[in-house]
Amino acid sequence: MRPVIQLALFLVVTTAQPARSLSQTPPSDDARELMHREDVWNRAQVSGDADALDRLWADDLEVAVPHLAVMTRDEASSLYRTLNGAQVGDLFMSLIDTCQLCGAHSFDYLIEIQRHARELAARPSEWMPWNYHDALAQAAEL
């Protein structure tokens, strides 16, 4: 699996937060610190500031995502060192989130769109997370 997919999965798993209603208590100091770090991360990623991103991660960080190989800090950080890498990571995070919202298995979806890249390029609207199973069935009939 490509490292970009691994980082995207890691980010989705680690940044997913339930919505907070206005009636709930204010965030704790820890929650405020996490929100601050997320803000720093987002600004650094948008501006391409890899050094700021590096400062957010511990030297001995290991990124573990279910069903994927564990990545070291250097392996994970190599994915956001360029604007293109950050954009690709954002794209995958969006696809994974969309899969979760419509009940599709994100790992299977990402594998299938790579296996059927030509069909996807010819008819992208048929290969969305919510309808790609129909396209798979059609491809199997051919």
Please write the tens of the pLDDT for every residue from 44-67. 777 777 788 778 777 777 877 655
Please write the tens of the pLDDT for every residue from 66-77. 556 787 877 777
pTM of structure:
0.50
Please write the tens of the pLDDT for every residue from 83-93. 777 777 778 77
- Map 84-132 to HEC letters: HHHHHHHHHHHHHHHHHHHCCCHHHHHHHHHHCHHHHHHCHHHHCCCCH
- Which is it for the CA torsion 47, 9, 72, 2, positive or negative? negative
- What is the distance between the alpha carbons of residues 10 and 34, in angstroms, rounded to a whole number? 16
Cβ contact 46:134 at 8 Å: no
pLDDT band for position 26 (cuts 50, 70, 90): confident
